[in-house]
Structure 1
Amino acid sequence: MKTDHSFIAERAAAQHCEELLRSGPEAVDLLPALSRAGERFARALAPGLADLIGGDAPSVTALAPCELRENNLAQELGALAANSLLAPAAPGVTLLASIEGSAVLRLVDRAYGGKGEPGGPVPLSFPLSAQLLIERLETVVAAALGEALGEGPLRALKRNPRIEELAPFPAGAPLVLLPIEIMEGARAPWKLRLALPLAALPKVLGASQGAAAKRQSGPADPAAAPFADVPLPLVATLVDMKVPLAAVSRLEPGAVLPVAVARAVPLSIAGAVIARGTIGAQDDCVAIRLSQIVV
C-alpha cells in the first residue's frame, strides 16, 4: 500500500478580514455604555418619582458605575433595603434594584403627613405601611429601566428587604453596581442602586442597542428627541420688492417707499419655503394664519 500522496488544494482557503475575526468587547469595556444607560434611566425616573411622591420632579443623577464581588453586596446595600429582582429582555439575566431602607421609611413618613426627616435607627424589617409604597416604587423603577434599555417595563420576579435571603447572584460572582442619587430640594439625598453580573453587561446593553436600532429603522420623528429641540429660524417675508439703484441712491431720512404686503406671506427655513399664510392679529400682536403647507 502506497501511503505518500501529493495533495492539491481544491480551492483557495478563506481569508477573513480582521473585523470578522475580532471578538466582541470585554464586559469591563462596556462600563461607559452602562454610564450612558444610567443617564437615560435617571431622566426617565425623575417624572415617575414626581408622580409618586408629589411635588416637583426630584433631581436624579447617575453616578459612576463600579465593580464589586457578590460577597460585598450586602455590606454595600445595608441591613434593610427595598430589594427587587427584575428581568430585562436579555434571556437568562436578572438585575437587582435596591432602595435604601431609610429612604423608604422617610417617604412613608411623608405619605402619612410627617416631615420625612431621618429618625432613629433603621428597624430590622419594613412596617406593613411601607409595602404598598415599595410596590409602587418597584413599578416606577421597572418602567424607567425598560425605557432606558429600549424595551417595555422590566418584569418583577421577587422582592425581599434582606439581600442575604433574596440571593440574587451566584456566590462570589463579579458584579457591576450603578448608584443613582435622588435629591428632593433641600432634603438629604438618598440612593437607588442597580446591580447585575459583570458578565451580563454585553447581553443587557446589546439588547438595548438592538432595540434602539430597531426603533430608528423607520422615519425619524421630528417631535421626538433629539430632533424636537433643534432650533430652526423661521422667516416670514412680508415684503420682497426691487428698487432701482437710482432710487436707492436718492434715499434719505423721511423718504417714503410705497409697499404692498403679499396676500400669501411665504414662511421659509434656510431659504426653502415651507408654508404660506395671511397677515392678521392675535392677542394684540401681529400674527400669520397658515393657509398652505408646501410639501
Structure 2
Amino acid sequence: MFDIAPDHAIGLYAGLLTLPFALLALRLRSAARGVPGTVLGASVLMAIAGAIHLGLVWTHRGETITALLFVMNGASYVVLSQLYTWRWWRPASVALITATLTGYLGYIVLNFDTPDQVAIATKLLELTTLGLVLVPVRGETLRRRSRWSVLSVALPLMTMVTVSVVWIDDLARPDAQHAHAGAVLQATNDTASPEQVGAAQKLYDETVAAIAPYRDWHAAWAAGYRPGPQNTPSTHWMNQRYVDAGYVMDPRRPQGLVYANTKHGPVLIGAMFQMQHIGSA
C-alpha cells in the first residue's frame, strides 16, 4: 500500500545519487570558500531538485509538455545550483522555486497530476531551499530587514498553500494509484469473478473466526496489538511484529484491528491487512 509510484521512483533515485556529487562539486570549487553556509546548502538542494525533475523525464516521455517542463525546470535548477556567486542568483532562485511550486499546484488543481511521495518530498525540499535562499547573509545591510520580513511571511504562506492544495485535492479526487497523498493502491477489476467472490468470502469467514478472541481488547493487547490515537470514533490497533514479518492476508495474523471507541470501552468491528510491497498477494 505504501510503495512509491513506479513512474516517480526514478526521480527519487536520481536525487539521492546527485547528493554526493553536489557536495563534491562544492569541495572542488575554490569559489565556494567564504560563501555562507545557507547559500551552499541551497545550492546542494537545488542540484538534488534538478536531478529529481530530470530523472522524471524518461517515465513521462509520452507526455510531451510535462516532459519538456521537467527538462526546463531540472536544467534550470542544476545551472542555478552552480551560479551562487552570481549577483542575481537570489532573485533568480526565488523566481524559479516559486514558479515551480505554483506550477505544480496548478497541475494538481487542473487534475493533470496527483500528489505522491516523491512529489511531496520534492516540494518540501524546494520549500526548504526557498527558505535558505531568503535568509540574509552576513554583510548585507540594505535589504536585510525586508528579506527577513519576506521569509517570515511568504515562506509559511507558501507552505500552507502547498499543503492545503495537496490535501484538498487528495480528499476531493482520490486516485487508484496515488490515493491518500502518496499511498499507492492496487487497482481491481470492475466486476469480481465467481472465484474472487468465493476467495473473498473464505477470507472473511476465516478472519471473523480468527479475530473473535480479540473482542476482549485485553487479548489483543496480550497478542501485541497497540492502539493509535483514540480521539476519533474508531481506533486502529497495530501489531508491529506482524507488520515487520510481512504476513500477506493471513487471517490468523492481521496487521491491524479496528475498534469502535464507545462509553463501554473498545468494541471490535474489524481487521485490517497491510502489505509491504505491491504484488505481494
- Using the size of structure 2 for normalisation, the TM-score is 0.24
Structure number having the greater strand percentage: 1
User: Which has the higher Rg, Structure 1 or Structure 2?
Assistant: 1
Higher helix content, 1 or 2: 2
